[in-house]
Chain A
Amino acid sequence: MNVTHPRYKETLREFTTENGLRCILVFKPDYQGSCALLGTPFGALDLEQVDQEGTIYHVIPGTAHFLEHKLFENPEGDIMNVFTDLGAQVNAFTSYHETVYYFTTSADVIEPLNVLMDFVANPSISEASVEKEKGIIVQELNMYEQMPDVRLMMETYKSLYHNHPLKFDIGGDEQSVLSVSKEHLDECYLRNYHPQQMVLVVATGVDLDVIEETIRKKQSEHPVRAMQKVVRASVNEPIEVVNTYHTITMDVQSEKVAVAFKITEFFDSPLKRLKAEWAMRFLNEAAFSSLNPAYQQWMDDEIITDFFGVDSDFGEDYGFVLFFNETSDPKQFEDFVLEQWEKATISEVTLQQLKRRSLGSAIRRMNHLDDLALGIMRSTFEQMDYFETIDVIETISLDEVLAIKQLVHVENRSVITLSKKA
């Protein structure tokens, strides 16, 4: 049944196929294009999985990403060409939390949708192709390695975490990529690509009855297999950071610094985590953006540049607040962050202003089929309703924003400097 949200005026239909695939369809009547995403919550953080019997499975860093590459292969060649033949553009990505396969098209959506469901459900990985893919992935890793911003972020994770899988690049490293085998990929696939673990989201202007019928029919054709229920094993991560100070050098024009606070208190529900994320964002926006009257002085004094920013991420078992800037004086920046963090505050007026801004931005994002579909998929993985994740913006109180500061213990920090090679 289609349900139209009274406030956001988006029409959704949700159902689960007989083999357990959770499906959410979004009806965008005026849109010419369609977008479909099929994803599994198997990402780069899943390096140790445990089943109901307590058996632990070790996953080589970069495997989720490697698997993403290899699923595009079928016995007749590259699946991308099949989509091209159908006038659709297909792609995929792996994050720390999930692997998502998707296509967009402004032509027929039915056939590409069938192909998407088929190729993700029926991998055909050969040993020879695994070996061939290693060269391509190593080139991809090399490409990221020479990007200063990516490198700074990776080095920050490595300095914050002893054991947590965040310390590994999503794609792994050359050594881990070279050690991946066909058997390893097959095993990981079987553990993490069962329909009951996955979510399919389709945003389209096509009649949802037709889409639902297509999905149900295709899923009924896929052989039913038993699901091995696994969860991410808990990580024994010390409270302290690995390095308080760490410097890397690159052949760059602009020197950069990151100051990261490691957060070690976690939330027992996704909703609480989401609220905490918004609260931290609002506090940082009030204290470290142009909303703070002192911001102009910081720029005039050349303490910060337009590159300066602050970001935060709260996961199930990790969290950090990260400040970054371009400067050749890391000590000055570190002192600045510590001093300003101490002063950081927000008024009720500013909070309301930020809520209004965030709400406008969240609503505008629904214009984009891919953003909307991905937002829905991610909230579904988190067992949340997508629209509630937007409504929550308005529920955050001043007290909650001010209290979020207590999560940060400034002594538990890493300062990473990316300096110019002499």
Chain B
Amino acid sequence: MQSYMYHPMSQLHIESTQKFKDTTISVRFLSELTEKSATTLAILALIMEDRNQYAATKQQMTQWMDQLYGAKLDVRSIGYGKSISFEVRSKVIDDRYIDRSIAKEHFEWLLTMIQYPLLSAETLKEAKLMLKATLLRNQDSATKYAINQAFTRAGAGYPLSIDTSGSLDVLDDITLDDVKSAHTMLLSAARVDVFVITSAQPQMYQALFEHSYLNTTRVDSETMYTLQHRDMTQEVMKKELKQTNLVMVYNAQIIPSDELYWPLRVALVALGQLPSSLCFTEIREKRSLCYFIGANMVTFDGAVYVYTGIDAKEKQQVIQLVGEQIQRIIDGDIDENLLVNSKTMMINSLYGMVDDPFAMINFLYQRLLMKSDVHMDSVIQMIQQVSMAKMGEAMASLVLRTIFSLEPMEEQA
């Protein structure tokens, strides 16, 4: 992907390709993550998707998108440690498959969508109602809710505890002025990265970007941090469920700039991301204790978590088994083949990204935020260099911080 920097923290990245049948654009603004900013941006996202000063009704908005052969618009927020990225993404069919050229019109339309959302008391009220419904709905997804609750407890006092989809606690207090201020901040000050994957001429996008409001001096926002160690906490929440959703959060204090970052990523694949991973093999396949189990990382917060759905009475056994699998990696007590496979699968997954525009964009953006070499080859080399010993060293840094379980009421267990 070719990058063009016009001002500090204002960049355009273009991949010219005939490979895809559509043009993909992602505009990402980066700013500080707080409970209030996450909630305000979640409201702004809903308003931006909904209506615009140039398309004042839902019907006009839909008609406008349909004129662009059903252009897709999706606005969302993603957490990156201390920061939150507000992303406006869109896809439109490539000019080669229709009878007129719409690439330029599409980019101009997207810039208008971002610049002129319809910010009014009416749209604010509707967005708040929708956000409230979404946040309540999220609580009904047992796995998602359990992970969220585990992060709230493990990350108390840190950005890890903040749900980037918003908070019911502050939702009612958000005013129209708050939303307008957040919008102004995005347009004028927040770091912006625009990604375009297209068969259209890059010069056209460069010219449009150069003459747009995006092309101004902007400020960066901090991302990576680590949690300080503290004593482990354990908490149980009861609900009428058929299954216990168990989440174990570990503080690794390893972030992407650390030497042990890639060894940790490989170790997590070996622990719980493959059918041959230790947790899958020992807990599901050998003992039939669960249907799903996985291990993952909250990259910019240096935290690791293991999650599963189990029978309530098996909880202690599963906690012990997870601990044993981590210890096996620390001790180097795993098949060499698992190490090789973990690295191979990570590398293949990186190669496979080039077939998915958003995966390409996510990879590049994350590397930019890490301030790391953006080339895939250098990442692959780092993965290839991971040894059993380094993997053990990375896993030895895990400190169990929180065990959270969402469990069935006694009579259902």
Chain A residues within CB distance 8 Å of chain B? 7-9, 30-33, 78, 80-81, 83-85, 87-90, 104-107, 132-137, 139-140, 142-143, 145-148, 250-254, 289-293, 295-296, 299-300, 302, 305-307, 326, 353-354, 356-361, 363-364, 366-369, 421
Are A290 and B58 within 8 A (Cβ)? yes
Residues 188 to 245 of chain B near chain A (Cβ within 8 Å):
239-243
Q: List 7 A-B contacts (CB under 8 A).
A: A88-B348, A89-B345, A142-B242, A291-B59, A305-B133, A354-B66, A367-B21
Known: A32-B351, A106-B352. A290 touches B18 (CB 8 A): no
Contacts across chains A and B counted by CB atoms under 8 Å: 163
Binds A, one of B37-45, B151-159, B175-183, B285-293: B285-293
Residues of A within 8 A of B354 (CB): 32
Asked, given contacts A84-B275, A292-B59, A364-B21, whether A306 binds B134 with beta carbons under 8 Å apart, the answer is yes
With A139-B290, A293-B57: A363-B93 Cβ-Cβ less than 8 Å = yes
Which of B18, B93, B129: most chain A CB closer than 10 A?
Answer: B93
Q: How many angstroms between the C-alpha atoms of A253 and B145 in the bound complex?
A: 12
Within 8 A of A (CB), among B335-386: 337, 341, 344-345, 348-349, 351-352, 354-357
Please encode chain B, from 109 to 140, with 1 for each CB lying within 8 Å of some chain A CB and 0 for all others: 00000000000000000100110011011011
Count residues on chain B whose CB falls below 8 Å from chain A CBs. Answer: 65
A142 and B243 in contact (CB under 8 A), knowing A81-B276, A253-B139, A306-B134? yes
Q: Report whether A85 and B337 are in contact in the complex, using a CB–CB cutoff of 8 Å.
A: yes
Other A-B pairs beyond A135-B288, A254-B137, 10, CB < 8 Å:
A33-B352, A84-B274, A87-B345, A104-B352, A139-B311, A290-B58, A292-B59, A299-B126, A300-B126, A359-B69
Query: Using a CB-CB cutoff of 8 Å, which residues 38-65 of chain B contact chain A?
Result: 57-59, 61-63, 65
In the bound complex, CA of A359 to CA of B239 (Å): 45
Knowing A147-B141, A252-B140, A356-B69 touch, does A31 contact B355 (C-beta < 8 A)?
yes
Chain A neighbourhood of B276, CB < 8 A: 78, 80-81, 84
Docked-complex contact B275 and A81, CB < 8 angstroms = yes
| CB of B288, distance to nearest CB on chain A (Å) | 3
Contacts of A134 in B (CB 8 A): 288
Residues in A whose Cβ lies below 8 Å from that of B356 = 368
- Cα distance A114–B357 when bound, in Å? 29
> In this complex, which of B19, B91, B242 has the most chain A Cβ atoms within 10 angstroms of its Cβ?
B242
Residue B142 at the chain A interface, CB threshold 8 Å: yes
Chain B residues within 8 Å of A253, by CB: 136-137, 139-140
- Given A84-B276, A136-B288, A357-B66 contact (CB < 8 Å): yes
Q: Which residue of A lies closest to B61 (CB)?
A: A290
Q: A251-B240, A356-B66 are in contact. Are A302 and B290 (CB under 8 A)?
A: no
Q: Which of B57, B63, B243, B292 has the most CB of A within 10 A?
A: B243
Decide if B22 touches A250 in the complex (CB within 8 Å): no
CB pair B62–A366 under 8 Å, yes or no, is: no
B70 in the interface (beta carbon within 8 A): yes
B59: contacting residue among A88, A136, A295, A359, CB under 8 A: A295
> Are the CB atoms of A148 and B140 closer together than 8 Å?
yes
B246 within 8 A of A: no
Q: Is the CB of B288 within 8 A of A132?
A: yes
A8 to B310, CA, bound (A): 46
Q: Which of B19, B21, B351 has the most CB of A within 10 A?
A: B21
Which residue of chain A has the shortest Cβ distance to B97 in the bound complex?
A363
Within 8 A of A (CB), among B1-58: 17-22, 57-58
